[in-house]
Amino acid sequence: MDQIDEIRLQVMWNRLISVVEEQATTLVRTAFSTSVREAGDLSAGVYDAEGRMLAQAVTGTPGHVNTMAEAVGNFLDAIPPGDMAEGDTYVTNDPWLGTGHLHDITMVTPVFRAGALIGFFACTAHIVDIGGRGFGADGKSVYEEGLQIPIMRFAMRGQVNADLIRLLRANVREPNQVVGDFYSLAACNEVGLRRLGGMLDETGLPDLGALGDFILSRTGRAMRERIAALPRGSWTNAVTSDGYDDPIRLAAKVTVEGERVLVDFDGSSPVSRWGINSPMIYTKAYAAYAVKCVVAPDIPNNAASLAAVEVTSPPNVVNAPRPAPVSLRHVIGHLVPDLVLGALAGALPGRIPAEGAGALWNIHISARPVAGQDGRRAEVLMFNSGGMGARPGLDGLSATAFPSGVMTMPIEATEQTGPIVVWRKELREGSGGDGEFRGGLGQVIEIAPLDGHEFEFSAMFDRVGSPPRGRAGGAAGAAGRVALDDGTALRPKGWQFVPAGRRLVLELPGGGGYGPPERRAPEARAEDRRKGYVSGEEP
Amino acid sequence: MANEQGIRVGVDIGGTFTDIVLDNGGRLHSAKVLTTPDAPEQAILDGIALVTAEAGVAPGEIGLVIHGTTLATNALIERRGARTALVTTEGFRDVIEMRTESRFEQYDLNLQLPTPLVPREDRFPVAGRIGAEGQELQPLDEAALAALAERIAKGGFGAVAVGFIHSYANPAHEERAREILAARLDLPISISSEVAPQMREYERFNTVCANAYVRPLMESYLSRLQARLGAMGVGCPVVMIHSGGGLIPVETAAAFPVRLVESGPAGGAIFAADIARRFGLERVVSYDMGGTTAKICLIDAFQPRTARSFEVARTYRFRKGSGMPISIPVIEMIEIGAGGGSLAWVDAMARIQVGPESAGSEPGPACYGRGGARPAITDADLLLGKLDPGNFAGGKIALSVGRAEAAVAGEVGTALGLDTRAAAFGITEVVDETMANAARVHAVESGKDIAGQVMIAFGGAAPLHAARMCEKLGIDRCLVPRGAGVGSAIGFLRAPFGYEAVASQVMGLSGFDADAVNALLDGLKAQAEGFVRAGTEGAITREVTAFMRYAGQGWEIPVTLPDRAFAPADGQEIAAAFRDRYAAFFGRAVDGPEIEIVSWSVRAQDIRPQPETHPLDTGGTPVTAKASRAVFDPGRGANLPTAIHDRDALPPGTRVIGPAIIVETETSTVVSSAFDAVIQADGAILLLRKG
């Protein structure tokens, strides 16, 4: 390749990343639900004409980015390129073809250049309601979990599909927010289209072909080099999730052979009766994420980096076939990285962190006035994080999402959306697992209905029965706890009730420690006491 | 006084240099002296002595000193502020430590988050709670506050910050807390509802902590400065430039020093806005590139765009989210780690990367020959022929081509199998593309298209890269003004005496309450004009802006409102204005949701005398150069014979045919093969695309 051409392609790669960044920014700026606009639960990316992901916005969360990478191919299967037209935008929330549950809406917009299809923009966001039983584990099948939107047109030649909008409005609890977010997703791809058009005009590139080949071959080569540097062999690990009523076993075998990393989930518990199952597409996303964190954190995420990780499983809780209920697939999916990292610890001792809280402690609140009183009904969604595991050489991060990439919503924004009061949201003292390096602290949250209101909430919590384990001699982090302020214990999963005048108290898990506690530096212990990270007196 | 045509002095304290510009009835005298970090006022006094001597005026004749500084920013970055106590709502002790609960770098397992400005042991929760509607949910625990004052008094603190939940909606608890604490403590107390009255507790609490943290330092510096200026005979008022580009009295700046954090770059944007006004350019992109960073700012109708928050002290490769959010009015600009000293390297993908690490002034780029061994942008510029090794900085620094070659070949060329010229081209091309990308993203976030605008380029490194940036951005015209090296200090002299008052109050347009709106805006107008009146007797202009969204969205777009009393029916007109703006930003308006106003701002400023304007001269008489050398032309991808001109030898009305290089003492302006250059009446260089 001519040297100057090579540099131009490098530069265009950067430009493509800036295009998808703009795409993601548009989604945040225009979204209605707090999950998107405050918490950034979204992703955006650009694809070549074959549906291969070339670049993604760095703001995305792995459960979206890596599923969407595969989802675009499913759109191509459902709608032949010959049937696609300029101004079209396609949509689905199919858990098995999209991003794992009905609450995630994926939109794909074809890119035409001089009449030819040259690629796609795709984006995904989590919306606040999709009808059915609401966001929770209680559905017995996907049919109870809400409205299913098979791959179809959101807009045809620029014209919004009005029937779809009417159907949506009739089926969801917050129609303005949900329909607003559909428009926002479409606007996000629209901005991507405009920018890509400008880039092609300026550079004179006819399509994404040469640039795509350059990006994927460069990435593929770098991935192969990294994998070649890993030890060969197979390593196993197992993790216990609380499940819904009975604990669930998650098992993984990680094999490094040839130019790939293989992850197999044989030995995991069977499909659950409850909505905590994960479709394969979602499990793969988090398995690939975990491998990439260890093997290639600095290599851009695209079709070629994802192709280096192969994931297999017989049908079970992490490969649940339709029509299994999957609403809370994130709880299991978020535990997959700790599961995979634990196996990789066998291959790379001294490089892998201890276990952390893993699953976000999301809570969906359905608030209403007490019977006979005036007030407001509202659906409120909060994302909250426990502690991350300690790292070899560093304490764990407190109250920080991992593996998810989302943010928490500001309390001030959350309280604007519905009649609830968050009375406490602060670090949970003493919850980090002891060790040479301490696990990150969880947090304590107290939520009450506003005066004259009561609420139902959907619990989607884990690590209550099995706390995050330490590594290399480090102690476990504190297990989670769910209760009312009068001491009544509540369950970690399922819809439950908080009456007027009571507070729900959530104690989120702390991360596991790393290394033997007796090797923790005295200065670090003194600082932990001074800051109140651990309770107790000076020795 | 501010708009009298007296003698005025602009002072910009930067990390390396303190720039002083004296304006004597339009005639400028400037000086650059080394910054004196231990006593920053010393450099100012030295500089004023130099410029007054040069201008032949006595210090007592100076009518106004306008001052901007990075001292507050540097105190935040280097953590040199006061030990600060944060008094906050019970249950929310850790807001500034838990941040957004996310990781700004998704794949780095060893990520470290920035340390909060106020450590946990210095954060004191107090019972009392305001609700989302501003209602009191729980009374403030006044007895606990009184007891807390005793603890703080004994704790060795230098400042107090108060941040309570929902105080932007109702400041009563914060104000009462300040009263109780002030009666018992001899410390400066900052409250979040005054410093940054905006929703989102993490950003607001962090801002009030930052204010409290730098306040003792800035108060002490500013009072020393005033005393020493007085002793030297400068008895005039001192006003400060704030991050939003307006001016505020020094007393206000001392109480709200967090407003000064971006004051230097703000001066640059005002400088560009003033140039834009002089040439009658309605849509301008200002491009300021120095030694370590580049700043890009959009200027419409001679007014730099403003935003209500930004991030300071990014800790992780300038990554968004890795710094501290500060919610104050700022001139909206994008700042990236790309300057003449930024270092180039090769990543694992065999891609060239540039910055944010910088060679600084010591050791400097490899070609300075002061021990720098890694390639900087300046080294690449030298190898491409853009700089004359024998005539850099007026010949004061001899540049070593050999050292530049060794650094570029060693770090980039060998790793990629590129010859030195191609490697140098790769470095400049990557940095130009990075800057162009940043400019493009910034434009999109502002709902603008950058192509078709006029660029104004200043700062030492900008003229070397401006032409290529224009090629990438589809810009046809670029001005390189005179005085670019001290642009920020000149900008201070051009700044209107202005202030923006902001308040959050959510109002749905279906329930548009004209009386409440009028009362709110009257309050903001009084507040904004109160600030401005402290500095001027003259006429004042006002601009009223509503920040609006669909109910349920979390981000607003600005909509300009008429400056008059509203009637109930005006809600409809405001809604229509919002829909139009929304569709322009995002493609289509949304059907259905309620439209609401979330916050309100009133910007007041004095009316400046209109500067003399002259249209862009796009003609000019071609001149031939005495010298020529081979320079790499990035658009053509080849070395081209390039004319070399001396800027001081080019009179107004001459046209330089590209490719050419126009050399001056501090920098050179590259005229690529796609451009010609026309010297304007005021000496500015206009780069003009051919054809």
Give residue limits of the domains in chain A.
3-219, 353-539
Query: Which of B91, B349, B590 minimises the CB distance to A424?
Result: B91
B95-109 per-position pLDDT tens digit:
999 999 999 888 999
Candidates B349, B426, B554; nearest CB to A219? B349
pTM score of the predicted model: 0.87
Scanning the structure block, which residue is given the tokens 């801002």?
B207
d(CA B691, CA B680): 19
pLDDT for the residue B393? 64
Q: Which of B83, B107, B320, B549 to mutate to test the interface with A (most CBs of A within 10 A)?
A: B107
Instruction: Give the chain B residue nearest A391 (alpha carbons).
Output: B110
Cβ(A152)–Cβ(A161) below 8 Å: yes
Strand partners, B289: B294
* Angle of CA points A343, A346, A347, to nearest 5°: 100
> Has residue B1 got a pLDDT over 50?
no
Question: For residue range B346-395, what is the model confidence (pLDDT) as tens digits?
Answer: 987 788 998 777 776 567 889 988 888 999 999 999 999 888 888 776 66
The pLDDT, as a whole number, for residue B16 is 63
Provide the mean pLDDT of chain A: 93
Predicted confidence (pLDDT) per residue in B449-502, tens digit: 677 789 999 987 899 999 999 998 889 999 999 877 788 888 888 887 777 787
Residue A483 makes CB contacts below 8 A (sequence gap 6+) with A489, A490, A504, A505
What pLDDT score was predicted for residue B362?
A: 63
Range scoring the smallest mean pLDDT among A123-127, A430-434, B633-637, B687-691 = B633-637
Question: What pairs with residue A316 in β-bridges?
Answer: A319
Q: Do B98 and A408 touch (CB under 8 A)?
A: yes
Residue B162 has pLDDT above 60, yes or no: yes
* pLDDT-derived band at A22, boundaries 50, 70, 90: confident
Percent of chain B with pLDDT over 70: 96
Using CB atoms, pick whichever of A15, A297, A427 lies closest to residue B98. Answer: A427
Counting beta carbons within 10 angstroms of the beta carbon of residue B418, is it exposed (0 to 12), middle (13 to 18) or buried (19 or more)?
A: buried
Share of chain A above pLDDT 70, in %: 98
DSSP string, A20-67: HHHHHHHHHHH--SHHHHTT--EEEEEEETT--EEEE-TT--HHHHHH
B120 pLDDT tier (thresholds 50, 70, 90): very high
pLDDT-based confidence at residue A120 (cuts at 50, 70, 90): very high
Average pLDDT over residues B227-239: 92
pLDDT tops 80 at residue A493? yes
**Mean pLDDT of the residues in chain B:** 89
pLDDT at A169: 95
DSSP B409: I
Using an 8 Å CB-CB cutoff, list chain A residues near B429.
7-8, 11
Choose, out of B90, B93, B101, B133, the residue to mutate when testing the contact with A (most A CBs < 10 Å). Answer: B101
Residues, chain B: 691
Query: Are the beta carbons of A423 and B430 separated by less than 8 Å?
Result: no
- pLDDT tens digits, one per residue of A177-222: 899 999 999 989 988 998 899 888 877 889 999 999 999 999 999 9
Binning pLDDT at 50, 70 and 90, where does residue B534 land? low
Enumerate residues 420 to 439 of chain A having a beta carbon within 8 A of any beta carbon in chain B: 421-427
B122 backbone dihedrals φ, ψ, rounded to 5°: -105, 15
CB contact under 8 A, B201 and A34: no
Nearest to B555 among A29, A187, A446 (CB): A29
Residue A535 near residue A430, CB atoms below 8 Å: yes
> Residues 448 to 467 of A: which have CB under 8 A from any B CB?
450
Half-sphere exposure of B556 (CA within 13 A, CB side): 24
Question: Is a pLDDT exceeding 70 seen at residue B634?
Answer: yes
Of B95, B111, B352, the CB nearest to A10: B352
Beta-carbon-side half-sphere exposure of residue A119 (alpha carbons within 13 Å): 24
**Integer Cα distance of A356 and A404 in angstroms:** 12
Cis peptide before B363 (omega within 30 of 0): yes
A 268-327 residues inside an 8 A Cβ radius of B = 289, 292-294, 296-301
pLDDT (average), residues B574-585? 88
Q: Which residues of A touch B639 (CB under 8 A)?
A: none
Give the distance from residue A297's alpha carbon to the nearest chain B alpha carbon, in angstroms: 5
Q: Is the ipTM of this complex over 0.85?
A: yes
- List, for residues A388-424, the tens digit of each pLDDT value: 999 999 999 999 999 999 999 999 999 988 999 999 9
Q: Look up tokens 């399509």; give the residue.
A: A207
- Using the beta-carbon criterion (under 8 Å), do A391 and B551 form an inter-chain contact? no
* B307 beta partners: B330
CA B528 – CA B502 distance, rounded (Å): 9
- Of the candidates A387, A402, A331, A427, the one whose C-alpha atom is nearest the C-alpha of residue A511 is A387
- How many residues appear in chain A? 539
- pLDDT at residue B2 in the model: 39
pLDDT digits (tens, 9 = 90+) for A66-96: 888 889 999 999 999 999 999 999 999 999 9
* Percent of chain B with pLDDT strictly greater than 90: 55
Is the per-residue pLDDT at A3 higher than 70?
no
Instruction: Give the contacts of B286 (CB within 8 A, at least 6 positions apart).
Output: B268, B269, B271, B272, B273, B295, B296, B297, B298, B299, B304, B333, B455, B456, B458
- Please name the member of B422, B445, B472 whose beta carbon is closest to the beta carbon of A3: B422
Model pLDDT, residue A538: 46
pLDDT tens, residue by residue, B264-317? 888 899 999 999 999 999 999 999 987 777 889 999 899 888 777 888 776 665
Q: How many CB atoms lie within 10 A of CB B524?
A: 20
